[in-house]
Amino acid sequence: MTYYWLKAGHIIFMVFWMAGLFMLPRQMLYLHSATPGSPEAAEWDRRMGLLRKMILTPSLIVVWVLGLALAYTIGAFSQGWFHAKLLLVLALTGYHGWMVSQARRMIDGQRPLTERQLRLWGEFPAFILALVVVLVVVKPF
Ligand code: HEM
């Protein structure tokens, strides 16, 4: 039963993490059009702080812990699909960290990314999600 509870928890927190990764670029888009130092910018700073502390960081940690426990349980470390999945999830984790650092620069009043770049980067998690789910459900190699 442990395997099924691990997988259930893994999928639940994966959904929370993905929801957070979909929301962050959109909050950054709203902040982008706010005047630095304005009450509106301060409000988006508060909202992004809540998103990071309540959803993004906790779910990132739980997805990794339960994912590695699952991998240990089913002996996935020697399987090709898992190697490819791990690479994609490392890229997604890197994206998470990079976007949080860009958000911090925006809160300081900088605008390191254009609105167009924010929209394009906002699609990255969905692209990775599709690849990861195919890898872990179909296990093509
Ligand atoms: C963060 C590091 C992650 C690790 C180490 C990991 C590892 C695993 C492992 C070993 C399984 C069990 C596969 C099986 O039962 O056959 C699994 C299941 C799953 N993982 Fe992850 N995973 C991670 C992140 C993610 C992410 C980010 C997503 C989606 C974006 C994801 C989606 C899934 C899904 C949908 C399943 C269930 C597949 C099924 O029912 O057959 N995982 N994961």
Q: Whose CA is nearest to atom 43 of ligand 1?
A: 67
In sequence order, the 6+-apart residues with CB closer than 8 A to the CB of 108 are none
Ligand 1 pocket residue status of 76, Cβ below 6 Å = yes
In the chain, the amino acid numbered 102 is: Q
Whole-angstrom CA distances from 107 to 16, 35, 40 are: 24, 10, 11
- For the chain, give every domain's residue range: 2-138
Residue type at 15?
V
Ligand 1 binding pocket includes 138 (Cβ within 6 Å):
no
| Ligand 1 mean position, distance from CA 15 (Å) | 11
pLDDT in tens, 12-66: 999 999 999 999 999 999 999 999 999 999 999 999 999 999 999 999 999 999 9
Residues 31 and 38 sit within 8 Å (Cβ to Cβ)? no
- Does 136 contact ligand 1 (Cβ within 6 A)? yes
Q: pLDDT per residue over 20-33, tens digit each? A: 999 999 999 999 99
Torsion, Cα 70 72 75 78, to 10 degrees, reads 110
Report the distance separating Cα 117 and Cα 99, nearest Å: 12
- pLDDT of 136 reads 97
Q: Is the CB of 70 under 6 A from ligand 1?
A: yes
Query: Do the beta carbons of residue 29 and residue 118 sit within 8 Å?
Result: yes
CB 81 within 8 A of CB 136: yes
What pLDDT digit, counting tens, does each position of 82-101 carry? 999 999 999 999 999 999 99
Mutate to test the pocket of ligand 1, among 6, 65, 72, 85 (most ligand atoms within 8 A of CB): 85
